[in-house]
Amino acid sequence: MKTPSEAEGLARSLVETMGAMGVTTTALITAMDHPIGRTIGNALEVRESLDCLMGGGPPDLQELVVALGGELLTSANLCVSVEEGRDKILATLKDGTALAAFKNMIVSQGVDEQTARRLCTEKSSSDCLPKAKHTTPVCAKTSGTITEENALALAEVSAALGAGRERAGEPIDYDVGIVLDKVVGERVEEGQAWATLHHKEESVPEALLSKVRQAVVIDPKMTPFDTPSRVIKRITATSLSTL
């Protein structure tokens, strides 16, 4: 959904439909005008997700994991409030419980024990994931604070590099994508890389580089700032509230 009103309409429809089927459901409307976290692409996002499971990673990614997990625990009657559910989820990220559960899950799905152990160890996890042969930095043309990073445009570039497909059955390059060296709210200096493209071919088509450059807005007068919560609204069967 590209607008808050479209998202709210879909969320209400889903919550009402599931409620009619006797399933307790909550929908969170979240901001996606700029990318979640700092990576776009398959292996790159897996690495970032592992960082989150290890108690770190980008704050906005952790916020969404905690918010959604808290809702699930509450819906399953495993806690008395959403706040308690969030606290429990955050605790599992910090104490290693979530990472251990992930490791056991992938082993049960056929990953050998040694690979799973390496994947879930901070110093060796990157060695288990595919890496692109080439990287290209995209540098700022001016100094200032990043106020916009177009999530859709960057996703389209990542897909064009091979991280996505247009039709079912097309191959995917798991190692390509984009790393955001600077994100919305952070300062970047002229000539400094704010994004790095990870790609299979030796060079990136100029059209894609141009699209990436056009995806960022840098305000020379703006001071760095903390981005607002990703969660815009919480919708239940009986209420609509702003968090």
Q: What is the CATH number of the domain that holds 182?
A: 3.90.1170.30
Whether residue 170 is contained in a domain is answered as yes
Residue 145 sits in the same domain as residue 101: no
Query: Over 50: is that where the pLDDT of 1 sits?
Result: yes
**What is the model's pLDDT at position 242?**
42
> Is the pLDDT reported for residue 241 higher than 70?
no
Q: What percent of the chain has pLDDT over 70?
A: 98
Amino acid identity for residue 128 in this structure: C
Same domain for 103 and 156? no
Residue with tokens 């439909």: 17
Structural domain span for residue 109: 41-128
Secondary structure E strands in the chain: 27-30, 39-40, 134-139, 144-149, 177-180, 187-188, 193-199, 216-219, 231-235, 240-241
Decide which of 77, 110, 128 is a domain's last residue.
128
Tell me the mean pLDDT in the region 218-232: 96
User: Same domain, yes or no, for 74 and 122?
Assistant: yes
Same domain, 145 and 175: yes
Residue 231 belongs to a domain:
no
For the segment 114-137, what is each residue's pLDDT rounded down to a tens digit? 999 999 987 777 788 999 999 999
Domain end point (choices 73, 95, 128): 128
Q: What percent of the chain has pLDDT over 90?
A: 89
Q: Is residue 5 part of a domain?
A: no
Whether 124 and 137 map to the same domain: the answer is: no
Q: Two tokens at 164?
A: 């996505």
119 and 138 in a single domain? The answer is no
Tell me, yes or no, whether 242 lies in a domain: no
Q: Structural domain tally of the chain?
A: 2
At residue 194 the predicted structure's pLDDT band, cuts being 50, 70 and 90, is: very high
Q: Are residues 123 and 152 in the same domain?
A: no
Residues 56 and 120 in one domain: yes
Split at pLDDT 50, 70, 90, the class of 96 is very high
Average predicted confidence (pLDDT) for the chain: 94
Asked, for residue 224, whether it belongs to a domain, the answer is no
In degrees and rounded to multiples of 5, residue 171 shows phi and psi of -70, 155
Residue 28 lies in a domain: no
Same domain flag for 135 and 105: no
Q: Quick check: pTM over 0.85?
A: yes
- CA 43/CA 41 separation, integer angstroms: 6
Q: What is the pLDDT of residues 37-81, one digit of tens each?
A: 999 999 999 999 999 999 999 999 999 999 999 999 999 999 999
Instruction: State whether 213 and 155 are in the same domain.
Output: yes
Residue 82 and residue 94: Cα distance in Å, rounded?
A: 18
The verdict on 122 and 178 lying in the same domain is no
b or e along 13-31 (b: 16 or more beta carbons within 10 Å of the residue's beta carbon)?
A: eebeeeeeeeeebbbbbbb
Domain boundary among 84, 101, 128: 128
Lowest mean pLDDT among 166-175, 224-233, 234-243: 234-243
pLDDT computed for residue 243 by the predictor? 42
Q: Does residue 118 form part of some domain?
A: yes
Does 215 fall in a domain?
yes
Which pLDDT value is given to residue 183? 98
Same domain, 45 and 93: yes
Quote the pLDDT of residue 240: 46
